Amino acid sequence: MSASIRNLDDLLAEGVSGRRVLVRADLNVPLDKQTGEITDDGRIRAVLPTLGALVQAGAKVVVCSHLGRPKGAPDPQYSLRPVAGRLGELLDAPVHFATDTVGESARATVDALADGQVALLENLRFNRGETSKDDTERGAFADQLAAFGEAYVDDAFGAVHRKHASVHDVPARLPHVAGRLVLREVEVLSRLTGEPERPYVVVLGGSKVSDKLAVIEALLPTVDRLLIGGGMCFTFLKAQGHEVGTSLLEEEMVETCGNLLARADGKILLPVDVVAADAFAPDAAHDTVPADGIPSHRLGLDIGPETVAGFTAALAGAKTVFWNGPMGVFEMPAFANGTRGVAEAITKTDAFTVVGGGDSAAAVRALGLDESSFGHISTGGGASLEYLEDKTLPGIAALEN
């Protein structure tokens, strides 16, 4: 991280006892659609080192975060209340929850904090100002947020690529530092830029190819091999001239994918077989079929075993590996083998391995894989990709003096 960025230790050295410290965290955790329960608390645990240090030092800790993508107004399904409960369990201390973000409840909650206590404000995105493209509207919301802190800590690595009020505008209003998580993420990801140890293999999956085009462009000159699975592979298969049945397809991206393949110099590896199902359902009838033989009424929901074997061979001997995005619909056991197989292959290399992205990190834990067998599991999906694209990240730029 650039030397001009101050970090939590600098703030702690000044003394924070009795001071209100506003912490932007990324507590955007996956919730079960039926029960609303937190299905993976990795992002909550990731911010504990920063929060714990502030509590220990006697700060009045005011935490804010987004959850999901509500449209600028309160929406109960995106409430952070369950997160407050889980955060309290993990901190082993009550977390005082404000039922609004900058309103009466928030003011009262913040005012009532004693030294070493923690408050969590309701979802930032219940307010239009948070994500507004209008500087004045964002600034007005940032003013309200900034009033809750005498110092600001950004520990929301997963959101540093967003030009949002809490990420980009609040640090302009308060003394600001990078939290422990942001510091560590940037330290690790910086090892993947510049001169990574070779062979450098990148594995990309996930559903949307349009989200990944920029990073593919940016990585092609650097990587030795780029393995593509997940929902996004079908647009590439189509670009190779294969029919993909009813699989996820971004028709308007086919040509771009074709151009990328033409320029990739053989570095891009695509699936040779896929698990094709009758429907997007855990109990759907399914078979493994060649990637150039997907029946017209079926959709691919995972990469097949031959592909896993090929990807495993391509990973063997790698010295640096970055993985973003599941290889299939790992939440459904019938379509989890591809993600599991590739994840296991990554752990078997003696490479420096980085897992990027909320979904891939959740997959590692959901599949019961040993987190410690990866070099680093990033809490940022889009953020880690944009870091690797060498884009300016509004949240990091805002921390620079």
Number of residues that bind ligand 3PG (CB under 6 A): 9
Per CB under 6 A, the segment of 44-52, 154-162, 231-239, 289-297 that binds ligand 3PG is: 154-162
- Scored b (16 or more CB within 10 A) or e, 276-285 reads bbeeeeeebe
The stretch among 158-166, 235-243, 301-309, 343-351 that binds ligand 3PG (CB under 6 A) is 158-166
- For position 229 contacting Mg ion by CB under 5 A, the verdict is no
Reduce the secondary structure of the chain to three states and give it as a string: CCCCCCEHHHHHHHCCCCCEEEEEECCCCCECCCCCCECCCHHHHHCHHHHHHHHHCCCEEEEECCCCCCCCCCCHHHCCHHHHHHHHHHHCCCEEECCCCCCHHHHHHHHCCCCCCEEECCCHHHCHHHHCCCHHHHHHHHHHHHCCCCEEEEECHHHCCCCCHHHHHHHHCCCEEECHHHHHHHHHHHCCCCCCCCCEEEEECCCCHHHHHHHHHHHCCCCCEEEECCCCHHHHHHHCCCCCCCCCCCHHHHHHHHHHHHHCCCCEECCCEEEEECCCCCCCCEEEEECCCCCCCCEEEEECHHHHHHHHHHHCCCCEEEEECCCCCCCCHHHCHHHHHHHHHHHHCCCEEEEECHHHHHHHHHCCCCHHHCCEECCCCHHHHHHHCCCCCHHHHCCCC
24 touches, from Mg ion, ligand 3PG, none (C-beta below 5 to 8 Å by class): none
348 binds, among Mg ion, ligand 3PG, none (CB under 5 to 8 A by kind): none
- Assess whether 358 carries a catalytic annotation: yes
Closest separation in Å from C-beta 80 to Mg ion: 17
Contact of residue 26 among Mg ion, ligand 3PG, none (CB under 5-8 Å per partner type): ligand 3PG
- Shortest distance, position 244 Cβ to ligand 3PG, whole Å: 26
The yes-or-no answer on residue 43 being catalytic is yes
Does 24 qualify as catalytic in the annotation? no
Q: How far is the CB of 246 from Mg ion (least distance, A)?
A: 25
Near ligand 3PG by CB under 6 A: residue from 38, 84, 106, 159 = 159
Interacting positions 366-395 with ligand 3PG (CB under 6 A)? 381-382
Rounded to a whole number of angstroms, the minimum distance from the CB of residue 383 to ligand 3PG is 7
Least distance CB 207 / Mg ion (angstroms): 12
Active-site residue, selected from the candidate residues 19, 20, 24, 43? 43
What does the per-residue mask of binding to ligand 3PG show for 11-50, with x meaning CB under 6 A? ---------------x-x----------------------
Site for Mg ion in 349-388 (CB under 5 A): 382
CB of 234 to ligand 3PG, least distance (A): 22
Q: Is residue 130 at the binding interface for ligand 3PG, with CB under 6 A as the rule?
A: no
Which residues, numbered 161-200, are part of the site for ligand 3PG (CB under 6 A)? 162
- Which residue in the list 158, 231, 381, 382 is annotated as catalytic? 382
Q: Which are the catalytic amino acids?
A: 43, 208, 358, 382
**Residues lying near Mg ion in the complex (CB under 5 A):** 382
